[in-house]
């Protein structure tokens, strides 16, 4: 039995997308992105009170990187992982976990633009700084795809993998705060992976996400 605990437009989308790509049967439990994640029942699944939490054969897992590794090792026939000893194993691990580098900046921007409910709580400096940091991450992905040259359709020369899922979900979230303009290879890669049925099935229904608009520009300094 596999059961994923998920909230729309959060890191748990990575795990949902991966499960969709694996093509395995699983139950999906949708949680609101609110204080209900701090309930004693849910804290028994994820002690940080966050999503995702994954129940699998009696075990309870949290942290998206760990969930990705466990699922790819559990279902190696999918080809989405790179096993120990595989020549792409190190690069696969780097890019799977690089998704958290992007996500920490998106989380800071989500807090500034969405979670803080009064203008005086928000910082124009933080929103500009974190958006620039997202762009630095975009540049790192652009460089990786350029380095691969003709093999640069995906983050690994061996083809689409869970590394693309992890980083792709982080870019999906980052686009709410920093556009992909000027990153041609990154844009082409994102267009390619976001056309996959597994990605589309992981998107929230209209109006169900945490973002009320398509883009949040950095805040202006008060006059």
**2-20 tens-digit pLDDT:** 999 999 999 999 999 999 9
| SS3 letters across 97-120 | HHHHHHHHHHHHHHHHHHHCCCHH
pLDDT the model gives residue 223: 63
Pairing of strands 59-62, 53-56: antiparallel
Do 171 and 186 meet the contact criterion of CB atoms below 8 Å apart? yes
- For 89-202, CATH number out of 3.40.50.280, 3.40.50.300, 1.20.1050.10, 3.20.20.370 equals 1.20.1050.10
Domain with CATH 1.20.1050.10 in the chain: 89-202
2-78 folds as Glutaredoxin (3.40.30)
Q: Would you call 213 exposed, middle or buried from its count of C-beta atoms within 10 A (0-12, 13-18, 19+)?
A: exposed
pTM: 0.96
23-57 pLDDT, tens digit each: 999 999 999 988 899 999 999 999 999 999 999 99
Contact 151, 199 (CB under 8 A): no
Contact 30, 7 (CB under 8 A): yes
Angle between helix 89-110 and helix 162-174 axes, rounded to 10 deg? 20
The predicted pLDDT at position 71 comes to 98
Q: Cα-flanking dihedrals φ and ψ of residue 57, to 5°? A: 50, 45
Report the side by side order of strands in the sheet with 27-30: 27-30, 2-6, 53-56, 59-62
- Tell me what pLDDT residue 94 has: 98
């Amino acid at each position: 039995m596999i059961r994923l605990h998920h909230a729309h437009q959060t890191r748990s989308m990575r795990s949902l997308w991966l499960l969709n790509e694996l093509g395995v049967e699983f139950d999906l439990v949708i949680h609101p992105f609110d204080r209900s994640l701090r309930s004693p029942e849910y804290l028994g699944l994820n002690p940080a009170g966050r999503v995702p939490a994954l129940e699998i054969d009696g075990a309870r897992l949290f942290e998206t990187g760990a969930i990705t590794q466990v699922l790819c090792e559990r279902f190696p026939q999918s080809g989405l992982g790179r096993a120990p000893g595989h020549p792409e194993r190190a690069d696969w691990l780097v890019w799977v976990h690089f998704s958290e580098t992007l996500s920490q900046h998106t989380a800071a921007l989500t807090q500034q633009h969405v979670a803080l409910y009064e203008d005086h709580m928000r910082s124009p400096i933080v929103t500009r700084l974190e958006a620039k940091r997202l762009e630095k991450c975009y540049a790192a992905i652009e460089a990786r795809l350029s380095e691969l040259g003709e093999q640069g359709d995906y983050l690994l020369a061996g083809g689409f993998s869970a590394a693309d899922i992890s980083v792709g979900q982080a870019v999906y979230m980052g686009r709410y705060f920093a556009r992909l303009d000027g990153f041609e290879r990154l844009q082409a890669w994102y267009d390619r992976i976001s056309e996959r049925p597994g990605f589309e099935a992981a998107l929230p229904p209209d109006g169900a996400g945490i973002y009320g608009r398509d883009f949040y520009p950095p805040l202006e300094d008060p006059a």
